[in-house]
Structure 1
């Protein structure tokens, strides 16, 4: 039995092929096209670079695939030639499956945290996932907590999202989209001078509830303008280092406490982590050092490209 998983959202496009439940091949489009994150490919995405690569590696054609699964944030260009064959599942669930099955754990707590996940109707508007906490045992997934936020009109920013908060820190200090790793790398050069100023933008309680609303986003956008207006390059770099330090420190505090909360709720000593925030290896190490869990598995493909793996496993086990 062959199951093909397609991954990504508006970036991070990828494919994964399972044969009888065994992972045969997986690859991101960027490795083939040399376009970072697959951004800028436009209609060329429809050519199915990663999909064809996986099929060619196995020596089969698309007609021999029994099931195709993607996630509901995947841009239609990626699968419009397969619309009669593909099943789309929840974005965070695809992340969760991408960590759970490769981990080898039968029972675990799962943190899925990124910028933006699947949407749901809330009155006249939509609200978007930013975090989902699961408890999984013997292939059954229970949602412990799910956080949503509204989109700030005219922007890509979503409320109550730790991933969006950190992405905005990255933007403020002058790095580009999807370059949060540079912020993590810059943070050790800063200090706590801007911590209190940045900390007021995002609030958190010890029950894993994050508050980061539209007014906070607006204030951070103003901070970006203030930083960009600094003429003295040396002074600007010094301030950006301090903002990076504050952003990293705040992310670590919230992220680590979410891990604590989830362990207390599930009483499980195994943890899996997926989603874009899981690419922050410094924060992951802080969770490890706290000792909440005996075993921690962080899927290497934590970003949206990894949802191809989760989608494929979902297709196989369902």
Structure 2
């Protein structure tokens, strides 16, 4: 069984094609982390993390430092012991989710590449195309209308709309997008920007315009589980928990409090192995599953797509991070379909 002989960590700066605003702030570039694991057989595995302090609690500098420190745990270990390696890394650096995601992915990728199998096979399925939505950030109604028209023209049947700053503007943005893309399925993400009362008011006003929403994602503060449950009781639109759920234990709490209809997992919050555990909890509790992403390149996005293809358990897919970049680490398409392959996650960055 081959061992890891080297772990390298470097910053990965990825400018966005346009500014990306959510209720937690504006991003002009993705300040990511790239981890490369090399085995004694000369096989390299790649992992990426996309730290965002308001969500992951990490700066990029802290994530780089953590990933470099994690090399002491990974080097000298057999890649086939990936589960124990991942547990040790995550237990040693609790809360450093972007850094540990990058390390975990690189180890899993190296393991699969050595065995010439696709990453999805670790999760029970073969690689298959994965369809994503397209996210429209917090912009004025006219810009939202143009972005929705462009997305629909590029084949996107599912749109996700960022909200959470101003209720009136949020309603106007959704209405403009519905007008521009009348056949698209719409999701709304408030990124913790509302109270339960505001969530209900928003839902009523949107419904009053004859607009149906697939779901409302994380309307209240991540720590306000009672508020999330309150919002769910107030409205008919399904509620998705996102920032509230990082760990399987968080998912159990959501189930016990009946706080959501859907759990949105992100590998950037939890890592591939824990996402599979959270998916099992959601399935056991008869909750729907959504998968989301950070502003990741094809490395992180294809890793998530492999988990989606492997588990086959997701009703909603939001994996458009690399579609928002000015330039990806490899040539990638512009439409809603991620064509994934192996071995591993199948992405070797052009560095």
| TM-score normalized by the length of structure 1 | 0.32
| TM-score normalized by the length of structure 2 | 0.30
Higher relative contact order (CA 8 A, sep 6+): 1
